[in-house]
Structure 1
Amino acid sequence: MYREFYGFTEKPFSKTPDPRYLYLSRGHREALARLKYVLEEKEFAILTGEIGCGKTTISRALMDTMGESYRFCFVLNPRLTPMEFLRTVARSLCCDLPATSKEDLLQEMTDSLYRLHCEGLSPVLVIDEAQLIPDRDVYDEIRLLTNFQLDDRNLLSVILMGQPELRTILAAPQYEPFRQRVAINYHLKPLTLEETQEYLDFRMEIAGGYPGLFTPDAVQKIYEFSGGVPRMINLVATNALLEGFGREQSFIDAELVESLRSELIHS
């Protein structure tokens, strides 16, 4: 369909978090650099951003960047009780059948972390959609994970990723002990208009196409509709390419993007 018409070898605006398509805006570069520091120092970080701003893609890029000496453990659904959470973490650290008592469970985790350390591996716990954590006690368990350490270093890096409401939740006074453990707290902002143009051209080139397919006034419209959020930019751009293919237009202009307004508002 539109891929052949516009000269792409693959879809330029796919929804999957492919690190090849990670456009490093100033904010994304800063986020990636800070998370690298957290992993190198085995610290605790929080990364927040609106839905679709690229948090998950950054975590995948971080995993690819850090190399084989880092072992990433992902908790993708944090709606768990404290024990469920600890058993999920323990399972990801090589305990296939985690203990059912908390005391035994913590000992298993300690043994696993120390064994990984002796093998030259640095475990990294990434908790996605952290704003969904249902219980303050789970936050306490996350905080206590930073107690796994030797005399001179921690044994585990922890990254919490979530939507902006996570910042609101953790601003409450009862989370002061939790906040004190956080070394890096970074909020990922949407792209600027200029970055939106660069983002579109970057992804089209990765997909085998050429920059400039979207006229400057079309980019302005895409920015208006998307608010600079990459996932929304992908949605608008894909719909524009489909419409452009249907019209057999060589370029995507503002009039074409504007014609999608009602469709995008209700999507």
Structure 2
Amino acid sequence: MYKDYYGFREKPFSKTPDPRFLYLSNGHREALARLQYVLEEREMALLTGEIGCGKTTISRALMDEMGDGYRFCFVFNPRLTALELLRVIARDLGVETPPAGKDDLLGEITGALYRFHNEGCLPVIVIDEAQLIPDREIFDEIRLLTNFQLDDRNLLSIVLMGQPELRKILSAPVYEPFRQRIAMNYHLRPLDLEETLEYLDFRVEVAGGSPGMFTPDAVQRIFELSGGVPRRINIVATNALLEGFGRDAAIIDGSIIEDMTAELVI
């Protein structure tokens, strides 16, 4: 449909977290740089942001940037018991059949971490949607994972990603021991108006199109509708391209955005 009409090789505003489409705003660039530093230092990081701000895409870009010498282990659904979390991590570390007992399970994880260390590889545990962690016990287990260390270095690094309420959860006094283990704490904010324009042009170009497809009044309206949140920008822009295709419009102007606004669900 609109892809061929506008000369795109692929859809420019797909919802998948493809790091090729990661527009590095000042905030995204800072978040990525800080996460790289944390991994180099083998520490724990906390990255928060509104839904759709690009946290997951940053984690994929981080994996690509770090390259060899790191093994990324992703936990996408942290609604687990403490034992279930350890079993998921053990599997990601290469333990084919994680034991049922906690002591034996921790023994397998310890063995795996030392094997990776001897191979010159650092495991990185990335826990997405960490605001969904159901209880304190799981945070305690995550904190205790940072105790796997040699005299001069940790044997793994941990990245927690979540929505802003995660900060509120961790602000409780009971989580002070956990907070003390966090070496980097960064909040990813939505794009501003200028960054929204650059974001639209960037993704259009990556997909094979030409910049300037969205007129200034269209960009202004997209920014107002999306609040600068990349995932919402993608929804509005995709619907605008479909509307433009239906009109045989070569560019997307403000009238197209206005006409399809009532149909948006963002």
Paired residue type of 2:258: E
Gaps of 5+ in 2: none
What's the counterpart of residue 7 of structure 1?
7
Q: CA deviation at 1:100?
A: 1.4
What's the counterpart of residue 258 of structure 2?
258
The range that moved more, 102-111 or 127-136, is 102-111
What's the counterpart of residue 135 of structure 1?
135
What's the counterpart of residue 88 of structure 2?
88
What's the counterpart of residue 153 of structure 1?
153
RMSD, aligned CA: 0.8
Give aligned-pair identity as a percent: 73
Q: CA deviation at 1:89?
A: 0.9
The question of 1:34 aligning with 2:37 is answered no
Partner SS for 2:28:
helix
What's the counterpart of residue 205 of structure 1?
205
**1:112-134: CA deviations, max 9, x gaps?**
10110000111000000000000
> Structure 2 CA distance, aligned partners of 1:237 and 1:88?
37
Alignment map for 1:95-174 (pairs within 5 Å) = 95-174=95-174
Q: CA deviation at 1:108?
A: 1.1
What's the counterpart of residue 58 of structure 2?
58
The range that moved more, 97-106 or 231-240, is 97-106
Gaps of 5+ in 1: none
Q: CA deviation at 1:261?
A: 1.8
Q: CA deviation at 1:105?
A: 1.2
Paired residue type of 1:107: G
Paired residue type of 1:155: L
What's the counterpart of residue 22 of structure 1?
22
Paired residue type of 2:141: E
> Structure 1 CA distance, aligned partners of 2:102 and 2:9?
52
> Structure 1 CA distance, aligned partners of 2:10 and 2:95?
40
Alignment map for 1:164-203 (pairs within 5 Å) = 164-203=164-203
> Structure 2 CA distance, aligned partners of 1:75 and 1:244?
39
Paired residue type of 1:130: A
Q: CA deviation at 1:255?
A: 1.2
> Structure 2 CA distance, aligned partners of 1:256 and 1:22?
26
Paired residue type of 1:179: R
> Structure 1 CA distance, aligned partners of 2:107 and 2:133?
24
Paired residue type of 2:128: D
**1:112-163: CA deviations, max 9, x gaps?**
1011000011100000000000011000000000000000000000000001
What's the counterpart of residue 68 of structure 2?
68
Number of equivalences: 266
Partner SS for 2:190:
coil
Runs of 4+ in 1 over 2 A off after TM superposition: none
What's the counterpart of residue 235 of structure 2?
235
Q: CA deviation at 1:191?
A: 0.4
> Structure 2 CA distance, aligned partners of 1:18 and 1:119?
29
TM-score, normalised to structure 2, is 0.99
